[in-house]
């Protein structure tokens, strides 16, 4: 580990971030500056500390202005990449095949890339490939796909704990299925039939009503109006 006269201040800064932020292992430069103020550090000092800790290997920088602590700071293991992706552009939420697999609605865990939704645009170019309504971001040999949606579609989101160190925003079970029904009706209908008894159908229908008549129609065709009413 590279040492420096400022390194003790850097460690204090990391500790302050861990104590102050709910998920402090992934943080922005703005959050670091605010944490530095609590320690009496000037913004310029904080930015120098971040640069030094990145050079020394204590921090990773997935994009400009976003930093990730490396073990042992905040945990024994590396931060899970999906937690980094959830903060690389905000607001965002884990969705698609990634969410369906988490809720055991599909058996196969996505192997090519994790999927998220966001109403924002990725504001940098390194590792970014724009593909219409989706953007592929590659970092550290891993790929993430962000589907761009209107702000009104950012509902049905909850914080989900993936392990003892990791929580991410994710579409809940019914919202994940609704997304599949809207984007891939045949696949979504199959999941709905298979997991009918595990789902909150009223919540699913409430979500569908927010999404529009086409989503409601898919569910009604799949289950039948009588089953839904029951």
Model confidence pLDDT, tens digit, residues 152-198: 999 999 999 988 778 999 999 999 999 999 999 999 999 999 999 99
Overall number of domains in the chain: 3
Euclidean distance between CA atoms 148 and 150, whole angstroms:
7
81 within some domain:
no
Is there a domain that residue 184 lies in? yes
* % of residues, the chain, pLDDT over 90: 73
- pLDDT above 70: residue 230: no
- Is residue 203 included in any domain, yes or no? yes
Q: How confident is the model at residue 228 (pLDDT cuts 50, 70, 90)?
A: low
- Asked, for residue 77, whether it belongs to a domain, the answer is no
How much is the pLDDT for 229? Answer: 53
Q: Which domain holds residue 143?
A: 86-171
- Confidence check: pLDDT of 227 > 60: no
User: Percent of the chain, pLDDT > 70?
Assistant: 93
Tokens, residue 112: 């090519």
> CA–CA separation, 115 vs 98, rounded Å?
6
4-18, 30-44, 206-220: which range is least confident on average?
Answer: 4-18
Indicate the helix (H) or strand (E) that contains 178.
helix 173-183
Identify whether residues 161 and 100 lie together within a single domain. yes
Sign for the CA dihedral angle at 188, 193, 196, 198 comes to negative
> What confidence tier does 112 reach under pLDDT thresholds 50, 70, 90?
confident
- Is residue 3's pLDDT more than 70? no
pTM of the model: 0.88
| Together in a domain, 134 and 155 | yes
Q: How far apart are the first and last CA of the chain?
A: 64
- Tell me the CATH number at 47: 1.10.10.10
**Over the chain, what is the mean pLDDT?**
90
From 126, 141, 171, the end of a domain falls on 171
Average pLDDT over residues 45-68: 96
Does the pLDDT of residue 226 top 50, yes or no? Answer: no
How far apart, in whole angstroms, are the C-alpha atoms of residue 68 and residue 66? 7
In a domain, 209, yes or no: yes
Residue 1 has pLDDT above 50, yes or no: no
pLDDT at 88 over 50: yes
Q: What does the pLDDT read at residue 13?
A: 96
Let me know if residue 79 belongs to a domain. no
- Dihedral sign, Cα of residue 71, residue 77, residue 78, residue 84: negative
């Amino acid at each position: 580990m590279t040492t420096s006269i400022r390194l003790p201040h850097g460690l204090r800064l990391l500790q302050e971030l861990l104590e102050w932020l709910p998920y402090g292992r992934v943080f922005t430069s703005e959050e670091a500056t605010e944490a530095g103020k609590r320690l009496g550090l000037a913004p310029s000092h904080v930015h120098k500390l971040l640069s030094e800790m990145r050079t020394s290997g204590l921090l990773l920088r997935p994009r400009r202005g976003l930093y990730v602590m490396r073990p042992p700071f905040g945990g024994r293991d590396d931060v899970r990449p999906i937690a980094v992706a959830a903060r690389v552009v905000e607001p965002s939420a884990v969705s698609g095949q990634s969410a369906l697999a988490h809720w055991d609605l599909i058996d196969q865990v996505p192997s090519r890339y994790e999927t998220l939704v966001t109403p924002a645009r990725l504001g940098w170019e390194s590792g970014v490939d724009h593909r219409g309504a989706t953007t592929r971001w590659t970092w550290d040999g891993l790929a993430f796909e962000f589907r761009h949606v209107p702000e009104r579609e950012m509902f049905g989101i909850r914080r989900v704990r993936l392990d003892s160190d990791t929580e991410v925003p994710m579409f809940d079970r019914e919202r994940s299925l609704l997304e599949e029904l809207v984007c891939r009706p045949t696949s979504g209908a199959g999941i709905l039939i298979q997991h009918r008894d595990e789902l909150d159908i009223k919540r699913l229908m409430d979500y569908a009503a927010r999404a529009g008549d086409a989503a409601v129609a898919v569910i009604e065709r799949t289950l039948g109006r009588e089953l839904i009413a029951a």
